[in-house]
Amino acid sequence: MIHSFSCKNFYSFSDLAVVDFSVNDKAPINDGYFTAPSGNRLSKIETVVGPNASGKTNLLKILPFLKWLIADSFNSNPSSLLPVKPFMFGEQKNKPTELAVDFEINGNIYTYSFVLDEKRIVSEELKVKNKTNQKETSKKVFSRKWNKEDGKYDLDDKRFNLPKEFENSIRPNASIVSVAVRFNHKESQEIFNYWQKFETNVVEAGWVGDQVLPNSNQQLLEVLDFYSESGNETIKKEAEKILSRFDLGLESFEIDKIKKENSFSINVKVAHSFGGQKVYLPSMAYESSGTKQLFVLLKTILVVLTRGGMAVLDEFDVNLHPEMVMSLFELFIQPETNPNNAQLLFSTHSHRVLNNLDKYQIILTEKNEKGESDSWRLDDVSGVRSDDNYYQKYIAGAYGAVPKI
């Protein structure tokens, strides 16, 4: 469960930006919120709204990047640069990026923070919060910091019990957890497993569905491959059920995975039924853009709802009717469809969704004349009431973060 995350000097965010899922007692009592094992109240939903090029995608990139850094960075070539970009204007381009995240595992709240540039992780620290009847304190689990004079890292892992041979495996472009899990380190494995529950359609270049990206159709093939695998039948059936609700006549889809020597091909037929007759369309190419987009989205959404974790979805509303967008995020709100309290972070231009959210679940972004992005949660805006019509006031420009055309 994510409590909050932040960045500084990360892509278009020059100054500190924080996205907070935690709420106080003033937040409404409804199914959009839940109480974590730690006793903290968290939101299931956060939506990011703002003009084009305001920084929405860059804000969403933080969690997928942290997932890669914490869990998967060991898989990169030891000589590779870190795929991180600082703010490109002024002095910030020569300064490191700062990232941090507060997350909860089994009632323990961890703070994982990094300072890094393209060449190396400059510093890395993991803390855990201890809660007593009197106060809340934070205890360091491990840390490392690059020592310029000695040309190596100063490592403090007394409370993390890393294996002796670990120090020889420290890499400048891989996190401690991503390396330690390869030594079957128990505590690292727990953190690794948590971050593996993140699903996203955001990559370093932006939204994976962007037609200007060279691999824009790759996501559809990957989703087809996922649905074809044994063990995913339940998720496939649920996807068919939801698709049939939105696409009149669509009944099911059949996938044939044909294995070749060093590769495979996938054939898919989609069944449509009208007037007692069933007809198979020979390819997904004949389906509408909305059906194909929903087909891809549902894989991410249903996996997270089934296993728990978080979905980070950019351009959530592309090719989808606004009513469809609201039906999809309702899957995260309702306890019946979200028994594991999975969380959803998404960006959208379907602003009608604002009428279905509270001020604690709306994040606004905009860019200033210096090219710097800024973000804030709506409850940080003075004078915003719980009974306001957020959609009408946002469209009227009362909260900012609207296009200046």
DSSP letter for each residue of 58-94: HHHHHHHHHHIIIIIGGGS-TTPPP------SGGGGG
* CATH number of this structure's domain 2-197+310-395: 3.40.50
Q: Please tell me the distance from the alpha carbon of residue 259 to that of residue 108, in angstroms, as a whole number.
A: 44
Query: Which sequence spans correspond to the domains of the chain?
Result: 2-197+310-395, 218-291
Tell whether the model's pLDDT for residue 59 goes beyond 60: yes
Q: Please tell me the distance from the alpha carbon of residue 109 to that of residue 116, in angstroms, as a whole number.
A: 23
pTM, full prediction: 0.90
Report strand pairing: 343-347 vs 45-49.
Answer: parallel
- Are the beta carbons of 291 and 324 closer than 8 angstroms? no
Q: Is 151 helix (H, G, I), strand (E, B) or coil?
A: coil
pLDDT of 132 reads 54
Spatial neighbors of 193 by CB under 8 A, at least 6 apart, are none
- Are the beta carbons of 373 and 13 closer than 8 angstroms? yes
Spatial neighbors of 245 by CB under 8 A, at least 6 apart, are 327
pLDDT of 211 reads 45
DSSP single-letter state for residue 201: S
* Span 338-397, pLDDT tens digits: 999 999 999 988 888 888 899 999 999 999 999 999 999 999 998 888 888 998 998 888
* Span 166-215, pLDDT tens digits: 888 889 999 999 999 999 999 999 999 999 999 998 876 554 554 434 44
Nearest to 302 by CA among 340, 271, 349, 269: 340
pLDDT of 133 reads 52
End-to-end CA gap in the chain: 39
pLDDT of 30 reads 93
